[in-house]
Amino acid sequence: MSNSLKHRALAAALLLFAPAHCLATTFISFDARTLAMGGVGVATGRPANAALFNPSLLAQTHTEHLDGTFAHLYLGARLIDRDDFLSRVDQFQDNYSEDKLDALLLSARAAFQDGQLDAHQLRTLASEGEGLVSAIEGLSNRPIRAAAAAGFSVGHTADGWGAGLFVRHYAILGGQFELADIDLLRMQQLVAITRASADVIEFGERSQALIAAIDYQRIETLIRQSIQDGRLNSELLSYQDIPGVAELINAFEATEPSLQVLLPFIDLDGLTQALRAQNQGVPLEQLGLGDIDLRDYLRYQAPETFESEVLVSGAEIQETALGGAWQLYPDQLTLGVNLKQLDITLIDFSAPVAQIEFEDYQLAKNQTNYIRPNLDIGMEWVLNDRWNLGAVVRNVVPFTLTSRLGTKRTFRPIARAGLGYRGDHFNVGIDVDLTTNEPLGFDPKKQYIGVGVEYYLWQQTAVRAGYRINRYDHSQLPSLGLGIGFDQGHLDFAVARSERFDEYGVSIQLGMHF
């Protein structure tokens, strides 16, 4: 198999990353502190990630050690495999061997030329083919999605106000392999033809043995005539009381359905001599048929390529924001705004399995570029020394973009509220999505509830844990993290893995304060 479907499917899996219907960006963040705390940040975020969650937190002066100038850099990545695509790939690799199937095909063709092709070879080949069909079906329509992001922020917080510059670049790409119905039908037909051919050869072998035992030339002629006609000769029925003939007739009747399977696809009349050679064990070359191949008898042209495709859809987005926050009511109510520019590259294309390449998503013909201004508005209400509330609306101005394939991608406003508690040595936060976030990639809709806690060991050094649940499909994502503090900054790490092992996340963040 020169163009291995397995290798193409796996190569396509490396390409997969993205949104399918809507690019309404969610509150999923890649900064390490937020990831570790279950994605919460509307009330418990820091000035450095205010652009991601709530711009009013730029003036979060009620928390000690956050005043002054800050600079942060973070990197993060996520992988989402809702339909067990990766485990199916493992099963594909474990249970299907391309080399074994190729060897069986070559062996069958060589045996055919030598007049030695038998039913056992064909049944083994058919079983391997069935395994291939099953494995390929297991990979079809099982999307996988991945995302990666990098960002930095610089700013200053002071008494009652804060300002900052934030840049975030992230790529969200996803896709799935779609097995075309015609490819599945062709593979199933080839398996059925192989099994039916095995039945016919097996019947021929049994016929030869029975005819040799009976040794009636007329019966042999009638048997061969029945095989060529594809129906039982009525004269042959008159011999059914002769010992052994009834068994022969029963064997033919059992084989007749296999002949019916073969007739639409194979020229049985032309194949008669070659099949007879298999029973005689005579090489085709000795019969003057050395240039004959099994494919010569097909009534249709065997497909050389697959029609199946890999669908890829996604976006690369860069957000550049100027944020500001002001206390409207001293030590209680703060309002924040992000004025931002969105540089958006939509990615949307499909390609045949045999032609898909990893770099295809970078081609200009598969991309559409847009620039759109927008803004986020957030507020924080400090209830007392311990409790505070936060709320934010992101992408206040909705707009719709169109991809190369004509797919509509819509940015819609999304809202979230949060509650935070600050203890002497720990912080707790709860965030709730107030709007439904349209599916990213091939995921279901999202409306998250997140809970996170961090415990300070000393200064900025803290351990963190979080838990997030999607109210739509009840998927859950626990997370852990560690922050290591030093005199003028901190280094944060976070990991997340879902309980069903279908979502993973990792992030690292470096922050400096002056």
The whole domain housing 168 covers 5-81+141-179+307-513
What was the pLDDT predicted at 1? 39
Q: Is the pLDDT of residue 292 over 90?
A: no
User: Are residues 443 and 382 part of one domain?
Assistant: yes
Q: Is residue 149 part of a domain?
A: yes
Q: Is residue 341 part of a domain?
A: yes
Q: Which of 115-129, 222-236, 363-377, 390-404 has the lowest mean pLDDT?
A: 222-236
Residue 14 has pLDDT above 50, yes or no: no
How high is the pLDDT of residue 204?
A: 67
Q: What band does 211 get if pLDDT is binned at 50, 70 and 90?
A: low
Mean pLDDT lowest for which of 216-220, 296-300, 396-400?
A: 296-300
Do 132 and 154 share a domain, yes or no?
Answer: no
Element (DSSP H or E) covering residue 73:
strand 68-80
Whether residue 220 has pLDDT greater than 90: no
- The torsion angles phi and psi of 385, rounded to 5 degrees, stand at -65, -20
User: Which of 246, 278, 297 is where one domain is finished?
Assistant: 297
Kindly state whether residues 150 and 130 are assigned to the same domain.
no
Q: Using pLDDT thresholds of 50, 70 and 90, give the confidence band for residue 263.
A: low
Number of domains in the chain: 2
Q: How confident is the model at residue 16 (pLDDT cuts 50, 70, 90)?
A: very low
Residues 156 and 11 in one domain: yes
- Residue 260's pLDDT is what? 62
pLDDT of residue 449: 94
In whole angstroms, give the CA distance from residue 152 to residue 165. 8
Indicate whether 269 pLDDT > 70.
no
Q: Say if 61 falls within a structural domain.
A: yes
Lowest mean pLDDT among 217-231, 313-327, 352-366, 442-456: 217-231
For residue 117, the one-letter residue type is L
* Domain C-terminal end among 239, 264, 297: 297
Q: pLDDT digit string (tens) for 129-163?
A: 888 788 788 888 888 888 889 999 999 988 889 99
Q: Is the domain of 175 the same as that of 248?
A: no
Percent of the residues in the chain that have a pLDDT greater than 90, as a whole number: 29
Q: For residues 438 and 24, is the Cβ–Cβ distance under 8 A? A: yes
- Between 185 and 289, the more confident residue is 185
More confident residue, 170 or 417: 417
- Tell whether 332 and 218 lie within a shared domain: no
Report if residue 62 sits inside a domain: yes
For residue 102, is pLDDT > 80?
Answer: no
Task: Give Cα separations from 291 to 286, 294, 364 (angstroms).
Answer: 11, 10, 49
Answer yes or no: do 244 and 367 share one domain: no
Q: Supply the mean pLDDT for the chain.
A: 79
Residue 465 has pLDDT above 70, yes or no: yes
On whether both 206 and 314 belong to a single domain, the answer is no
Contacts of 110 (CB under 8 A, 6+ apart): none
User: Of 287-291, 494-498, 500-504, which gets the smallest average pLDDT?
Assistant: 287-291
DSSP run (H or E) holding 37: none
| 260 inside domain | yes
Asked if residue 302 is part of any domain, the answer here is no
What's the pLDDT band for 452 if we cut at 50, 70, 90? very high
Assign residue 405 the CATH number of its domain: 2.40.160.60
Q: How many Cα atoms within 13 Å fall on the side-chain side of residue 247?
A: 10
380 has pLDDT over 80: yes
Q: What is the pLDDT of residue 123?
A: 86
**pLDDT of 3:** 41
pLDDT digit string, tens, across residues 32-68: 999 999 999 999 988 888 888 899 999 875 555 456 8
Average pLDDT on 278-290 reads 59
Q: How confident is the model at residue 103 (pLDDT cuts 50, 70, 90)?
A: confident
Report the C-alpha gap between 197 and 114 in whole angstroms.
17
What does the radius of gyration of the chain's CA atoms come to, in whole angstroms? 34
pLDDT at 323: 94
Asked whether residue 491 falls in the same domain as residue 465, the answer is yes
Average pLDDT over residues 305-314: 80
Token output for 453: 């806690």
Instruction: Give the model's confidence band at 18: pLDDT under 50 very low, under 70 low, under 90 confident, else very high.
Output: very low
Cα separation of 145 and 80, whole Å?
5
Say yes or no to pLDDT of 77 above 70: yes
What is the mean predicted confidence (pLDDT) over 12-35?
55
The answer to whether residue 442 sits within a structural domain is yes
Whether the model clears a pTM of 0.85, i.e. scores above it, the answer is no
Q: What is the mean pLDDT of residues 353-370?
A: 84
Return the minimum-mean-pLDDT range out of 36-50, 277-291, 344-358: 277-291
CA 8, 13, 15, 21 dihedral sign is positive
* 21 pLDDT more than 50: no
Please indicate, yes or no, whether residues 166 and 312 belong to a single structural domain of this protein. Answer: yes
127 and 55 fall within a common domain: no
Residue 328 lies in a domain: yes
H/E stretch holding 303: none
360 and 450, same domain (yes or no): yes
pLDDT of residue 19 exceeding 50: no
What is the average pLDDT across 369-378?
96
pLDDT at 88: 76
What is the predicted pLDDT for the residue at 210?
A: 61
Q: How confident is the model at residue 354 (pLDDT cuts 50, 70, 90)?
A: low
Listed in sequence order, the residues at least 6 apart from 104 whose beta carbon sits closer than 8 Å to its beta carbon are 121, 124, 125, 128
Domain boundary among 266, 297, 328: 297
Q: Could you give the CA distance from residue 35 to residue 478 in angstroms, rounded to a whole number?
A: 10
- pLDDT at 166 (0 to 100): 93
Percent of the chain with pLDDT over 70: 73
